Each structure stands twice: as structure tokens, then as C-alpha cells.
Amino acid sequence: MVKDIVFQVQNALKENVDEKTKASSQKFFKEEIKNYGVKTATVTQISKTYYKRIESKSKSEIFELCEELWRSGYIEETFVACHWSYLLRKQYEPSDFLIFEKWIHHYVDNWASCDTLCNHTVGSFIERYPEHLEDLKVFTASENRWMRRAAAVTLIVPARKGKFLKEILELANLLLMDQDDLVQKGYGWMLKAASEVHQQEIFDFVMSKKNVMPRTALRYAIEKMPKEMKALAMVKDK
């Protein structure tokens, strides 16, 4: 049964290949990605269609299907997996964190899959079980760049709601000097999201770190701030 549904999803994706999308997709990524070349809106529609066929199944059965999709490595299949796991958010239990961590560690290999999984599935989990914020801090020490980016982008949606400011600043501090530009962009984005509610606190943090903070992260962090704040943040102290 697992193989049947996965096979049907894969066939639906193959039937909806758009050559223009396939040709242009790679330009958004530095790393090589596996993709069919299906438009995002079409992937979403396929995901919804096939979820109706499995929604009566248990959470563990659906997670098994998600894992099978992740295993394929095709970016569109990872998007379907992310959509399905997010639809189960009201059923999340603390032990599910280990499953999500496994997906990030073993299967995520590009920023789009990382962000889709973490913004929605993992972010919703953390809002429900904030004690797992400590695990995100552990992610920051991983050799896996996607684990480190995940630590930050998981908190994008909660940050926009004004949640977890203390932990956001702690994570930004832990990731502050990371040499990977995708990690820098990740925690800069997290700070930017937090600035929507906590502008002064994020500005104060940036000002205290601006002499050492990578410019990539800094620019992301201050993107939504007023011009005067941006100007002050961009000037390095002598």
C-alpha cells in the first residue's frame, strides 16, 4: 500500500512535467538538485489530491509515506512529504521530533526542502512543544549545514508572532560566526521575522554584533527596519 500511493504520486508528478520549469529550477540552487520540473502550484494540487486518499490512515502510516517520498531525493516529492506532515500538526507528540530530526539530517539537501519542512512542520511542532527549543541549540553545532540552517528557519513563523525572542537571540548568537552563507541567510531571516514584533530588541542585538556579524546575515536581519536604523547598523565601528 505504501508503495502504491508513492508510485501514484510519482506518476502524477511525471505526467505534469513542465520543460520550462525544469530548465529554470536549477538556477535557484548552488548545489545540484533532483527535480521533475513541476510547477509549485501543481505540486500542491497533487499533494492535496492524494492526501484525500490517505487521510484516514494513522499518523505513523502517513509518516512512513512521507519518509518514502523523502528517500527519493526529488524536490517535488519532498514538498508533498512536507505538506502531508504539516497536515498532521494537531496530532504531533513529543516523540515525533526524532522523526523530523532524522528527515533533516538524512534527506534534506537544499534550502527549499529545508525551509518547507522547518517553517511549517517543525515550526508548528516547536510551538506546541517549546521544550524542544533546546534541541535547536544542539543543531547549531552540527557539521551538517542543513541542520544548522534548520535551527534558525524553524522559528520563522513563531518569530513573526512575537514568540521565543530569548531563544531566537540565543540561536543567532550560536550561529553568529557561521561561515556558510545559507546558514547566515537563515539566521538573518529569523532575526528579520522577529523584528516584525520586536524591532528594538533585534536592532539592539544587531548593533551589539555589527562589527563581527557577517554582512549577509546583517543585511537580512535589518531588511524591514526604517532607513535610519539600517544606516546605523551598516556602519562598522572603527
Does the pLDDT value for residue 31 go beyond 90?
no
Q: Would you say 187 and 178 are in contact if contact means Cβ atoms under 8 Å apart?
A: yes
Percent of the chain with pLDDT over 90: 91
Q: Average pLDDT over the chain, rounded to whole?
A: 96
Q: What local confidence, expressed as pLDDT, does residue 57 receive? A: 95
Banded pLDDT at 104 (limits 50, 70, 90): very high
* CA dist., res. 233 & res. 231, Å (int): 5
Does the pLDDT value for residue 109 go beyond 90?
yes
Model confidence pLDDT, tens digit, residues 164-217? 999 999 999 999 999 999 999 999 999 999 999 999 999 999 999 999 999 999
Q: What local confidence, expressed as pLDDT, does residue 25 receive? A: 87
Q: If you average pLDDT over residues 146-171, what whole number do you get?
A: 98
pTM recorded for the entire structure: 0.94
Q: What local confidence, expressed as pLDDT, does residue 2 receive? A: 62
